[in-house]
Amino acid sequence: MDLFKKCGSLEILNMAKEKGIYPYFHQLETKQGPEVVMEGKNIIMIGSNNYLGLTSHPEVIEAGIKALEKYGSGCSGSRFLNGTLDSHVALEKELAAFLHKEDVVTFSTGFQTNLGIISSIAGRNDYIIGDKENHASIYDGCRLSYAKLLRYNHSDMEDLERQLKSVPETAGILIVTDGVFSMGGDICKLPEIVKLAKKYGARVMVDDAHGLGVLGKHGRGTAEHFGLEDEVDIYMGTFSKSLASIGGYMAAKREVCEYVRHTSRPFIFCASITPASVACARKSLEILQREPERVARLRDISNYMRKGLVKAGIEILDNNDGTPIIPIMTYGNVRTFTACQKLFDRGVYVNPTVSPAVPVGHSLIRTSYMATHTEEQMDRAIVQIKEVLDEVKDIED
């Protein structure tokens, strides 16, 4: 059989292109902000993970420019060899202090961070137990580790304990969960997870990509939200969301971080984060600590939108957790693609989520919000969402 035969199997995407409802790769022409210009249209952006609104902050931009002037455009090597800048080390120290952990290791992307942590920490004789709705990068990290992967039903603590009971006493166990789940916007049941981990001698890793800058009084994430900062063994997070840059990090005890630095292939064999990206992440972290009110504002605007959608009779997946991720139920793939295109034409950008990313018949529109959004922008978006959903309600796959 021809290796490339599979390349012609994207029927749903080809159909979407033919119908003019293909929703991907829209081109931005301005900074990522509450309102943007995409393909010549003025758009309310409610499909971004720029939670604190810092990607266009003048101090962040200035920091990136100064780093570019000082260090040049790149490091031309891995952190392990010639690619470590003094600013990389400074970022790690600042993050460790902020997160109340002994040490931090930074990676070049968020996806790579999960690959690098999990494949290094877990091995052939270990077990990884993860929530079924964990991010794809967690799953790929598990594959690279060669550890035995067990999955528990989403946020089902009885199922988690059942999986823990099945692990041999001689095996190491890593429980891995998203802090804030990226599609549903719900928060993991961290208190119960920590309790079960202690009972069965497991370690806990939380992917807080959507938790940093979002949860907790100071924005430290899921563990701060629950008052469990000393109970999580490994934090994973990214710079591409609240910290307005690119890259990722691991925060843990010093000996664990040192082990990963010297054994993680995705860390050792990848060029380091660019100087400008490091500077932007550092400045964003500084602003987060200086202006914790951004975290509260993000929660307020998200709840304003949540209440507005419900009042308008729009069906949302409401977990009552107050996160800035609000899924709007559309159920069918074609209906979802059509709704997203109509919203784009009317000046509202959202993200389609269709099977196989979600189960067949459970497609949705993922919306997400920024601390810098205004109530007026939200009101305008609600009107358009309501009108479009009424227009597409009879479309079937």
DSSP string, 30-93: S-SSSEEEETTEEEEE-B---TT--TT-HHHHHHHHHHHHHH-S--SSBTTTT---HHHHHHHH
Instruction: Give the list of residues 6+ apart from residue 383 with CB closer than 8 angstroms, or none.
Output: none
Residue 210 annotated in active site: yes
Could you say which of 57, 241, 283, 373 is catalytic? 241
Could you say which of 182, 277, 302, 368 is catalytic? 182
* Helical packing angle, 110-121 and 136-145, nearest 10°: 30
Could you say which of 101, 135, 148, 210 is catalytic? 210
Residue 7 burial by Cβ neighbours in a 10 Å radius (0-12, 13-18, 19+): exposed
State the virtual CA torsion across 100, 250, 324, 23 in degrees, nearest 10: 170
Q: Which helix (H) or strand (E) holds 175?
A: strand 173-178
Q: Which helix (H) or strand (E) holds 230?
A: none
Both tokens of 35, joined, read 């309102």
DSSP string, 354-371: -TTSS-TT-EEEEEE--T
Report DSSP state, residue 244.
Answer: S
Q: Is 235 left (phi over 0), alpha (psi -120 to 50) or beta?
A: beta
Report DSSP state, residue 336.
Answer: H
Instruction: Give the list of residues 6+ apart from residue 101 with CB closer than 8 angstroms, or none.
Output: 235, 251, 252, 253
Burial letters 73-108, b for 16+ CB under 10 A, else e: eebeebbeeebebebbeebbebbbebbebebbbbbb
CA distance 323 to 42: 26
For the chain, give the longest Cα–Cα distance: 60
- In single-letter form, the type of residue at position 155 comes to S
Which residue is associated with the tokens 């993680």?
264
Nearest to 286 by CA among 47, 116, 52: 52
Which residues have a catalytic role annotated? 182, 210, 241
